[in-house]
Structure 1
C-alpha cells in the first residue's frame, strides 16, 4: 500500500511540539536539504498567526533553516487574504521553497483558505509543486490533520462520535490529500482520540489510521513510516475487523492496534515493523512464548479508557501484564441536557491474539515500549446514569 508518492516526504506532528524538541525540528530541516534550506511557514490555521508563525520560523532557523513566514491566514489582521493568495511574487517564493510547514490551530481555516469549495488555489498548487519536486510537507496538530485525503474537521466529542453523531462537512471533510489511504489524527493519546478514529475509519471505509501523540511526529516517505519525538503513535488497522449491523450502536471486533515509539519504523506496504535499534538491544516480549514472565503484576481496569494516556497504559498492560485481556469503559457517567444517549457506553476489550509481540527498553527516564498486533473489540453497553451515587449511612445504627 503506497500512501504518498516517492517524490516527497510528509511529516505529521501530533501537536504541542515543544520549542526544544530538536529531534523533530532538525529532522524537518534535514529532510528538506540541510543548512540554509528555504522553508515556507504557513500559520493559516492559527488564531494568532503572526505570533505562532514567528515561533515556528525561529525554531526552524535555530536548526539551520532559512524559514520565511507566509502571510496567508484568515485571522491575520490587516492583510488582504485574497490578494495574498494570488500574489505572483509570493506564490513564486513558496514554489521555490524546499519545504512547507503548516501551523496548528483550526484545520478548517487551512482547507477553506487553500482549497475553498474543494477547488485548489494557485497558492496550493505552488505548495504541491514543492512536494512533487521531492520536498517536505510538514504540519503540527491542525497542520497534520489536513495531510489526509479525508480529515477530521471539527469532531471534538469522542463519545458523540461513538454514538453516531456524524455530520458530513462538519465532523469530517476533504483534506489536502498529501497522504492517501491513511487517516491522520493528532493529540491522539493525550485526548483519547481512539474514540473518534475507530468510527471514522469504519464510516469512511478506510482501513488504516495513524494517531500521532503530542510532541511526536511520523515521517512518511512512500510506504515507509518512522516515528520520532518524545512520545509515539498508534497505528489502527481495520483490515480484519467485523461489525454487527444488528446492534443499535457502534461496535467493532478484531481491530488491530500497534504502538510505535521513537525510532520505530513501519512499512505500510508489507505491514512489517522494525523497532528502534535500542529496542532490539533490549528485551523482546512475546506473551505466547514458553516461560514468558510479565514484569507488570497488578490487574488494571480502565474506568476511562479515553482518558489522558490510558490507551497506551492498556496496551502495555496487555503486552507485559499477567492476563490475556485488558478492559476499559468509555461513557459519560453523568446526565447531559438533551443527550438521548447518556446511558449508552462502550466497553473496550484489548486481548491477545496471534502475532502480539513487543519490546521493552529501560532508559534513564523510565521504560519505553513498542507494542505490535493487539486486538481490540468495542462493544456498546448500557450504563447507569448517573454512574454512581453517594453511599448513605445507616442512621438507625448510630447512637
Structure 2
C-alpha cells in the first residue's frame, strides 16, 4: 500500500502561471491514495478554476477566509488541524513574503499560521524575483523556521527569461511528499554535543568606508548549523556579515574580520567542542595598517598600492590548540580541487575537508546548490549535486559517522 494512503494533504495554490500544474499534482496524490483538499488564493483564480480542482480532488474548493457556512464551526481552524501536510504549489514571491512576516490576511496564510503540521513550499516566480535579496531572505527565514521546500527549478520561463524560478514538476513534488511521509522522525543522536561552525565572508578594513571581502553568502555554513540543530546538537554559529537569518536555536556570534573570528572561536571553545566546521570564507590577507581616515584619490597617479599581510589561519589554530575533538575544513578552489584539498588536510592537521569548485557558476558562492568532495586521510566521498540544505544533512551524517568510527 502507498505511504500516501489516507494521508490528508492540503494543497494551497497561489497566483502564477504554474498553477495549472497543480491539477496534475492532485491527480498523482489522489491516485496514490491521498485525501486532497484545495485552497485557492484570489490570484490563483485567474489561472485555474474551482470547478476543475473540485472535480480532480473530490472535495469542494475553499478560497474565502470568512465563509459564513464554513466559519460556523471555525472552519479554517478545523482545516488547519485536518491536514497531515500543507503543500503550497505554486508558492509565489508575494505569498512567501506574507508567510515570512506572519500575516494572516487570507485563508491560505491563516491556515499556515494555525497549523501544527509541516508545510512544504514549491516556489514559482520570475528568475529576477527569485534572486532578489528580499525573496532570498524570506526563503532563508522560512527554512530556519522549519518550513520545507522543493525547487525552484532552472530553465525557460513563461515570460521568456531563463533561470531559476520554475516550479518543480508535479512528479518531483509528488516524490518529495512521499519521501516526507516515508522519512523516520529526526534522530537526536547529536544531543549533548557542541558544534562550532564558522560561516560567511570576513571583511578586512582598508579605511572606514572600504574593505576586502569575497562573495560568500553563508548559505552552506547556515545550512550545516540547521542540520546539526535538527539532530539535537548545541550549535554556536560564528558568522561574518551575511543577508540571511541564523537558524532558530543557534547561538549566533556576529563578527567582521578574521581577527574577530579567531577571538570568537577561542572564546566559544574554552572547553573543547565536539565538532568544529570552518565553513567561513576567511580573507587570506588584511591591511598591514588600516587607515583611520578615508583614503583620498591622488590626482597625480592612477594607481593605489596597498600593503597586505597574512590573516591568522583560524582552522589551523583550532587544530593546533585542540579546541575541538574533530576539526573539519572547507577548500574553495578553482582548479586541482582534490589535490589542493588533500594538501590542506595534511598541512593543517584536519580530520576532514570538504572541497568544492567555486569556478563553476551553478554551485558554490551565492548559489542555492552545491556539489562537494568529502576527504579524510583514508577516504573520499562525492555526494550528488543538491541544494545546500539537502547537502548539509548528508554532510552532518558523514561527519557523525566519521567521528563515531574514529573513537
TM-score range, shorter chain: 0.3 to 0.5
Larger Rg: 2
Structure with bigger strand share is 1
Larger RCO, structures 1/2 (Cα 8 Å, 6+ apart): 1
- TM-score norm. by structure 1 comes to 0.38
* Normalised TM-score (structure 2): 0.38
* Structure with the higher fraction of residues in helix conformation: 2
